[in-house]
Protein backbone atom coordinates (compact mmCIF):
# COMPACT_ATOMS: atom_id res chain seq x y z
CA UNK A 1 0.00 0.00 0.00
CA UNK A 2 1.26 3.43 -0.86
CA UNK A 3 0.47 6.55 1.14
CA UNK A 4 -1.54 8.96 -1.02
CA UNK A 5 -2.44 11.84 1.29
CA UNK A 6 -1.90 13.50 4.66
CA UNK A 7 -4.67 11.49 6.33
CA UNK A 8 -3.03 8.19 5.35
CA UNK A 9 0.35 9.61 6.38
CA UNK A 10 -0.93 10.51 9.86
CA UNK A 11 -2.68 7.16 10.21
CA UNK A 12 0.55 5.35 9.36
CA UNK A 13 2.45 7.42 11.94
CA UNK A 14 -0.15 6.46 14.55
CA UNK A 15 0.17 2.77 13.64
CA UNK A 16 3.95 3.01 13.98
CA UNK A 17 3.56 4.49 17.44
CA UNK A 18 1.19 1.70 18.51
CA UNK A 19 3.54 -0.98 17.18
CA UNK A 20 6.51 0.59 18.97
CA UNK A 21 4.52 0.72 22.21
CA UNK A 22 3.57 -2.94 21.81
CA UNK A 23 7.21 -3.90 21.28
CA UNK A 24 8.29 -1.86 24.30
CA UNK A 25 5.64 -3.64 26.38
CA UNK A 26 6.83 -7.06 25.21
CA UNK A 27 10.42 -6.12 26.12
CA UNK A 28 9.22 -5.55 29.68
CA UNK A 29 7.06 -8.64 30.12
CA UNK A 30 8.75 -11.37 28.06
CA UNK A 31 11.60 -12.93 30.02
CA UNK A 32 12.70 -15.46 27.40
CA UNK A 33 14.83 -13.86 24.65
CA UNK A 34 13.81 -16.41 22.02
CA UNK A 35 10.11 -15.96 22.75
CA UNK A 36 10.58 -12.20 22.69
CA UNK A 37 12.20 -12.29 19.25
CA UNK A 38 9.47 -14.58 17.93
CA UNK A 39 6.83 -12.26 19.36
CA UNK A 40 8.22 -9.04 17.90
CA UNK A 41 9.51 -10.24 14.52
CA UNK A 42 6.21 -9.54 12.76
CA UNK A 43 5.88 -6.12 14.40
CA UNK A 44 9.41 -5.19 13.33
CA UNK A 45 8.82 -6.33 9.76
CA UNK A 46 5.65 -4.25 9.60
CA UNK A 47 7.47 -1.25 11.09
CA UNK A 48 10.10 -1.55 8.36
CA UNK A 49 7.40 -1.68 5.68
CA UNK A 50 5.53 1.33 7.07
CA UNK A 51 8.75 3.34 7.44
CA UNK A 52 9.55 2.70 3.78
CA UNK A 53 6.08 3.92 2.81
CA UNK A 54 6.58 7.08 4.85
CA UNK A 55 10.00 7.64 3.30
CA UNK A 56 8.54 7.32 -0.22
CA UNK A 57 5.68 9.66 0.65
CA UNK A 58 7.96 12.30 2.15
CA UNK A 59 10.44 11.98 -0.72
CA UNK A 60 7.74 12.88 -3.25
CA UNK A 61 6.69 16.46 -3.70
CA UNK A 62 2.93 16.94 -3.15
CA UNK A 63 2.43 17.77 -6.83
CA UNK A 64 3.99 14.44 -7.78
CA UNK A 65 1.68 12.52 -5.49
CA UNK A 66 -1.45 14.16 -6.88
CA UNK A 67 -0.21 13.72 -10.47
CA UNK A 68 0.53 10.04 -9.89
CA UNK A 69 -2.89 9.52 -8.45
CA UNK A 70 -4.61 11.08 -11.47
CA UNK A 71 -2.84 8.75 -13.89
CA UNK A 72 -3.29 5.60 -11.81
Q: What is the pLDDT of residue 1?
A: 67
Look at the chain and report how many structural domains it folds into.
1
Residues 35-70: tens digit of each pLDDT: 999 999 999 999 999 999 999 999 988 887 765 454
Whether residue 23 is contained in a domain is answered as: yes
- Distance (Å, whole) CA 52 – CA 35: 27
Whether residue 34 is contained in a domain is answered as: yes
Q: What is the pLDDT of residue 40?
A: 97
- Distance (Å, whole) CA 17 – CA 69: 27
Whether residue 1 is contained in a domain is answered as: no
Domain that holds residue 57: 6-67
Amino acid sequence: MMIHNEKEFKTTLERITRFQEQIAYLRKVESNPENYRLSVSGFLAELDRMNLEIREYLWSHPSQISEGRKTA
